[in-house]
Structure 1
Amino acid sequence: MALIALDADGVLLDYHAAYRDAWSRAFGSLPCLRDPHAYWPIDRWDVERLFGPRLAHFRSYFNEEFWSSIPPCDGAVEACHRLRAAGYDLVCVSAIEDQFLAARTKNIQDCGFPVDRVYATHGAAGSISPKARTLAKLSPVAFVDDYLPYMRGLPADIHAALVVREPNGSPNTGDELRIVHSQHKDLDAFSTWWLANI
């Protein structure tokens, strides 16, 4: 069967909601919404910029519990089941540390995603996506991500589908959009479009 590769945060999983919950656990207050159109959670929620010991304290909450309990994005589980029903195998390719791969895999399974395997990649997006090598080995027919720099250097025969979500502060702009083949508001929209057009 043909393979489709999917990013996790922002495509399968609602990282915004998880960030807010982590802040609540770290500091004892649930932050209010500041900008519903912000791409980055630090801009979306009414939170302070952290430095030094307070930043280290907050980061300590991005642990096994965090990476195993992120809620799914709206419509994402159903979108994956439609793709699976149409005959596609699904994998997740996520920029996450190896130490949290098991937690991420459990999270995706617990949410009910019909995803066969989760792959962890490393590093920030430079001139070539840190996901490019894994994707070249997997050779999916399509890859769906919500971060444009992660589309850099993909093999030309992989359909690069970009989820273009909240616009404020988004990296998904400019001339580099030419490297993607299609744009969608979320995974549900991609699934509907893909099954109707491919």
Structure 2
Amino acid sequence: MEKITTHLTAAAIPTAPVLVLRPWMQADAIHLVELYRDAAMRRWNSVRIHDRAGAERWIQEQRQGWETGERRAFAVLEPGDGSADEQVVGHVVVKGALPGATSAEVGYWTAARARGRGVAPRALEAVSGWAFDTFTDTGLRRLELVHQVDNRASCRVADKTRYAFASTIPAAPPEYPLDAHLHVRTHR
């Protein structure tokens, strides 16, 4: 398996410490169950996690994604309050960065307790840089970010991380019930 741990180089900000991105581990399952109790998580994510078994299955799917190269998912963590423990505050993923692929998709979510503190933009910036550094030699030139049109917070994250608005994608019910925005970032 390729090296899959990276650290953000962005300094801590007054409202949030430095973030660490690492692959999901089975020990994270209990945290996922708690995070998915949030109504916003259920609204914006198509995945539904109701219990520990569901969380463990989801984590196993993320780990399999690393093995196949189809998706490289990271847990986003920040240090705990004064201890060595880290808390899961989000998720960021690169999907489809396969040899010869010129584009890949990125996605993310943030825990309720971490919203409004720059977690999503910093995690997305870190994974975007990592993806271009890691996969440009195999053809990657473009990263795409897709979100529902009514998700204004995701538009702000896209703007902050230099993902330019490219187009509106028509809804495709039932899987995609609402129109979506496509934002794009190209490798310099």
**TM-score of the pair, normalised by structure 2:** 0.29
- Larger relative contact order (Cα-Cα within 8 Å, sequence gap ≥ 6): 1
Higher strand share: 2
**TM-score of the pair, normalised by structure 1:** 0.28
